[in-house]
Amino acid sequence: MSLLRLNITMSLDGYVAGPNQSLENPLGVGGMRLHEWALPLAAWRKPHGLEGGEVNASTPVVEGHLSNIGAVLMGRNMFGPHRGPWSDHPWDGWWGENPPFHTPVFVLTHYPRPPLAMRGGTTFHFVTEGIASALDQATSAAAGKDILLAGGAAVAQQYLAARAVGEVNLAVVPLFLRGGERLFDNLGATDLGLEQVRVIEAPGVTHLTYRLL
């Protein structure tokens, strides 16, 4: 059975993106600092088509996050910086011609768009029917493998509030962003019932894994 896994990096004050997200600052002002622990890793570089890199205590964590993934879910805000109806020459994502996912990716949006096939096995499917439909489509595409919930914050909050997430993997960095998108806002009265199952200390980051009860 497919497990919906949320993998996301968070600041000590709870933000997963900084303020004022834009084409120039896709993760908001200061947001790229959240991922400085991951960018040098060989385990992060390889899926992005880059050679070399470091190996440290984060390596098996990142490798585990990328293993057994059959589909990906994300919001339109993570897919690109533009809002409103798609243009005649729409945005094709941040990741170039060969995105690092190599699986079907289901993008939550209010505006329909035909599927976008990229190199390396990634096809973006644009879902306008809401989070339940996107999860159903991702589950079918995953064919028994797990589903990665890649973000951003608004989509993660919706799946958390619906108690659809089976596992939460937080990479917590010693950084205060003091503004932007907080992961655990807008959950209403939802009781997540989290059980901590793993803690790993690594250079510049602490990896926390929680299971929803």
Cα–Cα distance, 124 to 86 (Å, whole number) = 14
Residue 70's CATH number = 3.40.430.10
Instruction: With respect to residue 116, please indicate whether it lies within any of the assigned structural domains.
Output: yes
In a domain, residue 211? The reply is: no
**Does residue 212 lie within any of the structural domains?**
no
Whole-prediction pTM value? Answer: 0.93
Neighbours of 14 (CB within 10 A): 16
pLDDT for 82-106, tens place per residue? Answer: 889 998 888 899 999 999 999 999 9
pLDDT on residue 12: 96
Instruction: Give domain status of residue 31, yes or no.
Output: yes
Q: Per the domain annotation, does 76 fall within a domain?
A: yes
In this prediction, residue 189 carries a pLDDT of 81
What is the number of domains present in the chain? Answer: 1
Tokens describing residue 149: 């919930």
For residue 161, the enclosing domain spans 4-84+91-201
Q: Which residues of the chain have pLDDT under 50?
A: none
Q: 40, exposed or middle or buried, with CB in 10 Å at 0-12, 13-18, 19+?
A: middle
**pLDDT at 168 (0 to 100):** 97
- The answer to the question of residue 13 being in a domain is yes
Query: Is residue 147, in this structure, part of any structural domain at all?
Result: yes
